[in-house]
C-alpha cells in the first residue's frame, strides 16, 4: 500500500491510499481518482515528505505532536456535515425504514406534513421521485446503536 498527498484543480488537498504506484497511475489515467471534497477528476500528486520508521525512539527526539481526535471534525467540510446532521436530527422526525411509506402518505394528504428523514431502498427512492414526491438524499447515515 502507498499513500499519496493529492490536490485538485480547486486546490483542495487530501490523502489517499493505493495498492501500488502503478495502481494509482492506472486509476488516474482512467479518470477514476477524484477529489474527496468536490469530486473534481482533475487531481495531481503534491510534494510530500516520506515516512521513515527508524525503529526505537531516541531519548533526545522531540516529543510527537498529539494526534487529532477522530471524534472531532478535521476540516471545514466535516464541520459543515456535522452541523447539517445536527440540524436535521433536531428539526425533523426520524422514521427509519418507513420513510417511503411516510413520505408518500404526506404527499397524498393522508397524514399531516412534517419534516422527516429515514432510510429507503434505491428503487423506492426512485419511485418517490418519479411520482413527484419531494425527497433528497442526505450525505450521512443514521447513527447505529451498538451493544
Show the cell assigned to 79: 464541520
Give the count of beta carbons closer than 10 Å to the beta carbon of residue 102.
Answer: 19
What whole-number distance in Å separates Cα of residue 137 and Cα of residue 117?
9
Q: 16 — phi, psi (to 5°)? A: -150, 150
Pair 108, 132: CB distance under 8 Å = no
pLDDT recorded at residue 53: 65
pLDDT recorded at residue 57: 60
pLDDT recorded at residue 47: 82
Confirm whether pTM is higher than 0.85: no
pLDDT recorded at residue 62: 66
Q: Over the chain (147 residues), what is each successive 10-residue block's mean pLDDT?
A: 88 88 89 86 84 63 65 79 91 94 95 94 92 90 64
pLDDT recorded at residue 82: 87
Amino acid at each position: 500500500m502507498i499513500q499519496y498527498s493529492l490536490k485538485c484543480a480547486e486546490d483542495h488537498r487530501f490523502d489517499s491510499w493505493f495498492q501500488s504506484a502503478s495502481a494509482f497511475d492506472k486509476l488516474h489515467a482512467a479518470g477514476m481518482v477524484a477529489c474527496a471534497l468536490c469530486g473534481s477528476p482533475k487531481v495531481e500528486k503534491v510534494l510530500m515528505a516520506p515516512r521513515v520508521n527508524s525503529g526505537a525512539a531516541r531519548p533526545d527526539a522531540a516529543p510527537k505532536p498529539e494526534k487529532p481526535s477522530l471524534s472531532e471534525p478535521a476540516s471545514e467540510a466535516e464541520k459543515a456535515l456535522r452541523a447539517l446532521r445536527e440540524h436535521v436530527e433536531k428539526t425533523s422526525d426520524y422514521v427509519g425504514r418507513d420513510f417511503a411509506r411516510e413520505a408518500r402518505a404526506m404527499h397524498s394528504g393522508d397524514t399531516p406534513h412534517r419534516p422527516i428523514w429515514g432510510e429507503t431502498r434505491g428503487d423506492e427512492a426512485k419511485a418517490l421521485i418519479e411520482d413527484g414526491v419531494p425527497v433528497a438524499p442526505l450525505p450521512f447515515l443514521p447513527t447505529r446503536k451498538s451493544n
